[in-house]
Chain A
Amino acid sequence: MAEETLLEIKNLVTAFQTEAGTIRAVEDVSFSVKKGQTIGLVGESGCGKSVTSLSIMRLLPKPFGRIESGEVLLDNQDLLKLPANEMQHIRGNRISMIFQEPMTALNPVHRIGKQIGEAFMLHQPEMDERTIYKESIEMLRQVGIPAPEQRVQEYPHQLSGGMRQRVMIAIALACKPDILIADEPTTALDVTIQAQILELMKSLQTASGMAIIFITHDLGVIAEVCDEVVVMYAGKIAEKAPVCDLFQSPKHPYTQGLLSAIPKLENPPKQKLQTIEGTVPDLMNLPAGCRFQNRCSYMEAPCQSQSPLLEKVNSTHFVSCHRWKEI
């Protein structure tokens, strides 16, 4: 690969202190993000997608969330070792993040303009107030908000959910970050708005060349926007592959299950939907061996005792399954 690696996550382990004990919400997760690339992070609810992204940003809820080990290398510099004040220069400047819930992600008592302008003020202190104001309007225009001169003066409650998510994107992109982490940015929005936001993110990416870590549980969205996909299951990586590979020849039984669970138009109407039987194991008492064993139709003796390692299928495709060669 000639493209340069921008961000590399190595063996990330993140744990939460809960009343019932310590749980590892993310275990041994590694992947890398290249310049301008879009990485998809998929998996069922609770598999640790958000925790992974919050760990990268070091935004875990204190004091219960803690990164136990691993590295997050941005240009070969470990973010996990940075002092707090240097990390503040990374957030919103080199790595930005947008969240699932646009309705509550903005401060209700500050004007839109102020909330965008704050990013400029933090990372480009040389800008004066008038330039910041103009740039904020420009950002709103870029994310496709009509009448930005007027919107900049308004408060979040005067905007719809889709508008607010656009504002969030405007804030995140204000300082032209190298990486945007989008944690289910469209889940709370209706389908047409969802499509518009995806379109917007793609076009902004083309314009700026930033990399995106796109978190979703919607494989359809993955197929549309991602170059590479990381499939997570119960805190671990199940499979990692370029998007075409993954859709054409999924190796992990879980990925296969996810793909066949997508309803297709060719299917006869009113047919029972395909699902993966069973539920995600409780992180408090994980089974020995493979975490997917209780839902896997290929389960065999070694699956119950040994954790599968991430094995190489080819130079870009990795899978964590004892029996991937057979299935």
Chain B
Amino acid sequence: MTSYFIRRLLLVIPTFLGITLVVFTITRLVPGGPIERIIAQARQMNMSEGNTSGGSSLQDDSPLSPDQIEELKKFYGFDKPILISYLDWLGKILVLDLGVSTRYYDPVWEIIKDKLPVSAYYGIVTTILTYLVCIPLGVLKAIKHKSFIDSTSSIIVLIGYALPGFIVAIILFVWPAAQWDWFPLGGFISEDFEDLTLAEQIWDVIHHSVLPLIAYMIGGFATMTFLMKNTLMDHLASDYIRTAIAKGLSFRSAVFKHAFRNSLIPLATHFGNNISLFLAGSFLIEKVFNIDGLGLLGFESLVERDYPIVLGVLVITSILGLLGNILSDFCVALVDPRVKFD
């Protein structure tokens, strides 16, 4: 088993190289990179200067001299072929140097590190809550198949599934938060967080996160709940449940002692995927609730062509995703003894 996981971890490396190389190349090939941004900025500056002084219109074409551009290219590493500069970039990654933001001129790692706790909080809490809701709900729906509870919860869960998360976020933001003032208007913590007692701090975080969590989770319920319900129903109809009852077990114990663990296997395969998905966040939800997480950071950096941050976020999320996959395998191995890794 250990050797299997070591092999899986080693396999992360080529996958990681593939993902980053592709994205790195794209950042090089698409127009609108940092140099063009600086040129545009410079032009704008010149124009406003030109308007006030009415002076030189010598540099219409390019506000910067070829020398300056050459220097910028060197600064951003654009002067070398893609592969070489990719290797440069990669070499720095290994020592956790993700470069410097082209917008803020801060080290990328520092910026990401600031956002990580928020994203980790939402990612982990969303995953845990999703499982805490979906597993019992799925079990209930399976046992009470076709009952009132089953049908009603199906309708609710499916509505949640059909609504995009950011729409839910907007609805929650407009009414419970803005209109009725039940919840804070976004943010992760209050301004005066530092001055609160520990209990108040915990309450503050919870109070801020209720609405975003609902927005995050509402779409994820359907898949997990129905997966739980359907696998459990399959297992309830299986031969080994009949054996268990023939042994003298009550139906209830047969469900919980026998069918339940078997039904967790498909859910376990989703675990790592879910947690990495939620960790990466959704920039739309983060935007609505003004949560300063990785999703929003990645999105804004992409719009602003802040490639070091884009790549930095990519590094973090792809590593999380790859580790998440291994975590899934590990979870499956925990519940299913038939899964052997060697």
The interface of chain A, by Cβ under 8 A from chain B, is 57, 59, 61, 84-85, 88-93, 96-97, 99, 101, 104-111, 118-119, 122-123, 155, 157, 168, 171-172
B247 near A105 (CB under 8 angstroms)? Answer: no
Given contacts A59-B242, A101-B239, A109-B262, contact A122 B248 (CB under 8 A): yes
Q: Looking across the interface, which residue of chain B has its beta carbon closest to that of A104?
A: B239
How many residue pairs between the two chains, A and B, have CB atoms under 8 Å in the bound complex? 72
B262 near A59 (CB under 8 angstroms)? Answer: no
Given contacts A85-B250, A88-B250, A118-B249, contact A107 B244 (CB under 8 A): yes
B248 near A99 (CB under 8 angstroms)? Answer: no
B217-257 at interface with A (beta carbon < 8 Å): 237-240, 242-250, 257
- Please name all residues of chain A whose beta carbon is closer than 8 Å to the beta carbon of B240 when the two chains form the complex: 104-108
Q: Looking across the interface, which residue of chain A has its beta carbon closest to that of B242?
A: A59
In angstroms, how far is the closest chain B Cβ from the Cβ of A88? 5
User: Contact residue range for chain B?
Assistant: 20 to 34
Given contacts A108-B338, A109-B336, contact A92 B248 (CB under 8 A): yes
B155-210 at interface with A (beta carbon < 8 Å): none
| A106-B238 Cα distance, complex, nearest whole Å | 10
| A123-B246 Cα distance, complex, nearest whole Å | 12
14 contacts between A and B (CB under 8 A): A57-B246, A84-B250, A93-B248, A97-B246, A101-B239, A107-B258, A107-B262, A109-B262, A109-B335, A109-B336, A109-B338, A111-B337, A118-B247, A155-B338
The interface of chain B, by Cβ under 8 A from chain A, is 237-240, 242-250, 257-258, 261-262, 335-338
B249 near A109 (CB under 8 angstroms)? Answer: no
A171 near B262 (CB under 8 angstroms)? Answer: no
Query: Of residues B242, B257, B336, which shows the largest number of chain A Cβ atoms within 10 Å of its Cβ?
Result: B242
- Please name all residues of chain B whose beta carbon is closer than 8 Å to the beta carbon of A92 when the two chains form the complex: 246-248
Q: Looking across the interface, which residue of chain B has its beta carbon closest to that of A118?
A: B247
In angstroms, how far is the closest chain A Cβ from the Cβ of B247? 4
In angstroms, how far is the closest chain B Cβ from the Cβ of A233? 26
- Please name all residues of chain B whose beta carbon is closer than 8 Å to the beta carbon of A107 when the two chains form the complex: 240, 243-244, 258, 262
| A321-B292 Cα distance, complex, nearest whole Å | 85
- Please name all residues of chain B whose beta carbon is closer than 8 Å to the beta carbon of A105 when the two chains form the complex: 239-240, 242-243
In angstroms, how far is the closest chain B Cβ from the Cβ of A76? 21
Q: Among the listed B237, B242, B245, B258, which residue makes an inter-chain contact with A110, where contact means beta carbons less than 8 Å apart?
A: B258
| A89-B250 Cα distance, complex, nearest whole Å | 10
B243 near A99 (CB under 8 angstroms)? Answer: yes
- Please name all residues of chain A whose beta carbon is closer than 8 Å to the beta carbon of B238 when the two chains form the complex: 104
| A123-B245 Cα distance, complex, nearest whole Å | 13
Given contacts A106-B240, A108-B240, contact A59 B247 (CB under 8 A): no
List 9 tightest A-B contacts by C-beta distance, closest first. Answer: A92-B248, A92-B247, A104-B239, A122-B248, A107-B240, A91-B248, A97-B246, A155-B337, A105-B239
| A61-B145 Cα distance, complex, nearest whole Å | 14
- Please name all residues of chain A whose beta carbon is closer than 8 Å to the beta carbon of B258 when the two chains form the complex: 107, 110
| A85-B247 Cα distance, complex, nearest whole Å | 13
Q: Looking across the interface, which residue of chain A has its beta carbon closest to that of B257?
A: A118
In angstroms, how far is the closest chain B Cβ from the Cβ of A175? 8
A109 near B250 (CB under 8 angstroms)? Answer: no
| A168-B261 Cα distance, complex, nearest whole Å | 21
- Please name all residues of chain B whose beta carbon is closer than 8 Å to the beta carbon of A106 when the two chains form the complex: 240, 243
- Please name all residues of chain A whose beta carbon is closer than 8 Å to the beta carbon of B243 when the two chains form the complex: 99, 105-107, 168, 171
- Please name all residues of chain A whose beta carbon is closer than 8 Å to the beta carbon of B245 when the two chains form the complex: 59, 91
